[in-house]
Chain A
Amino acid sequence: MKTMNYSPEHLTSNRHLFWIAAVLGVIMMAPVAWIIGLSLKDNAELLKGTEAVFAMPYTLVNYANILESSSVFGWFINSMIVAIGQTIGVLLLSSLAGYAFARLEFPFRKTLFIIVLFGLAVPEQAVIIARHQMFNWFDLHNTHIGLILPNLSSAFGVFLMTQFFRAIPKEIDEAAMLDNASTFRIFWKVLLPLTLPAQATLGIFTFLQAWNDYWWPLISATKADMYTLTIGIASSQTNFAQSEGLGFLGAQAVFASLPVVIVYIFFQRHIVTAVSGGAVK
Chain B
Amino acid sequence: MSASISIKNITKRYDSVTVLDDINLHIEDGEFVVFLGPSGCGKSTLLRMIAGLESITEGSIEIGDKRIDTLPSGQRGVAMVFQSYALYPHMTTRQNMSFGLENVNVAQDEIDRRVNDAAKILEIDHLLDRKPGRLSGGQRQRVAIGRAIVKEPKAFLFDEPLSNLDAALRGRTRLELAQLHQRLGSTMIFVTHDQVEAMTLADRIVIMHKQKIEQIGTPMEIYQHPVSRFVAEFVGSPPMSMLPINHIENTVDGVTVEVSGAGKVVTAITLPQDFNAKDAVIGIRAEDTAIVSPQEEGLDLTIKVVERLGDRTLLYGTLVDGTELIAEDTGRSKVKAGETVRVSISPHAAHIFDGNGLAHHSQREV
Binding site for B on A (CB under 8 A): 169, 171-172, 174-182, 185, 189-190, 193-194, 196
Contact = CB atoms under 8 A, between A and B. Distances in A.
A175 B82 contact: yes
A175 B80 contact: yes
B104 interface: yes
Given A169-B84, A172-B88, 11 more contacts: A174-B82, A175-B82, A177-B52, A177-B72, A178-B52, A178-B53, A178-B74, A179-B74, A180-B100, A180-B103, A196-B90
Which 7 residue pairs spanning A and B have beta carbons closest together?
A: A180-B74, A179-B100, A171-B86, A175-B86, A177-B73, A180-B103, A193-B90
Given A169-B84, A171-B82, A171-B84, A178 B89 contact: no
A198 to B, nearest CB: 14
A178 B88 contact: no
Name A's interface SS.
helix
A179 B79 CA distance: 8
B99 A179 contact: yes
B86 A172 contact: yes
24 contacts: A171-B82, A171-B86, A174-B51, A174-B53, A174-B86, A175-B82, A175-B86, A175-B147, A178-B52, A178-B79, A179-B100, A179-B103, A179-B147, A179-B151, A180-B73, A180-B74, A180-B75, A180-B103, A180-B104, A181-B99, A182-B103, A194-B89, A194-B90, A196-B90
Interface in B70-99: 72-75, 78-80, 82-84, 86-90, 99
A178 B51 contact: yes
B100 to A, nearest CB: 3
Nearest to B87: A175
A196 B89 CA distance: 12
Contacts of A190: 88
Contacts of B52: 177-178
Contacts of B104: 180
Interface string B25-52: 0000000000000000000000000011
A99 to B, nearest CB: 16
Interface string B156-193: 00000000000000000000000000000000000000
Contacts of A175: 80, 82, 86-88, 147
Nearest to B74: A180
A194 B74 CA distance: 22
B101 to A, nearest CB: 8
Contacts of A171: 82-84, 86
B338 to A, nearest CB: 42
Nearest to A168: B89
Contacts of A181: 74, 99-100, 103
Nearest to B90: A193
Contact of B73 (A169, A172, A178, A194): A178
Contacts of A194: 89-90
Contacts of B100: 178-181
A76 to B, nearest CB: 35
Nearest to A173: B86
A177 B75 CA distance: 9
A189 B147 CA distance: 17
A39 to B, nearest CB: 43
A177 B80 CA distance: 11
Contacts of A193: 90
A176 B79 CA distance: 11
A182 to B, nearest CB: 8
A81 B87 CA distance: 38
Interface in B96-126: 99-100, 103-104
B78 to A, nearest CB: 7
Contacts of B73: 174, 177-178, 180
Contacts of B90: 193-194, 196
Given A194-B89, A194-B90, A178 B80 contact: yes
Given A169-B84, A193-B90, A194-B89, A178 B78 contact: yes
A192 to B, nearest CB: 10
A201 B89 CA distance: 20
Contacts of A172: 86, 88
Contacts of A169: 84, 86
Contacts of B79: 178
Contacts of B83: 171
A172 B84 CA distance: 9
A179 to B, nearest CB: 3
B85 to A, nearest CB: 8
- Between A174, A185, A190, the greatest number of chain B beta carbons within 10 A of the residue's beta carbon is seen for A174
A213 B13 CA distance: 53
B153 to A, nearest CB: 9
Contacts of B151: 179
A177 B103 contact: no
A189 B82 CA distance: 20
Contacts of A182: 103
A173 B62 CA distance: 24
Contacts of B147: 175, 179
A81 B194 CA distance: 60
Contacts of A179: 74, 99-100, 103, 147, 151
Contacts of A180: 72-75, 100, 103-104
A171 B80 CA distance: 11
B118 to A, nearest CB: 14
Contacts of B82: 171, 174-175
B142 to A, nearest CB: 15
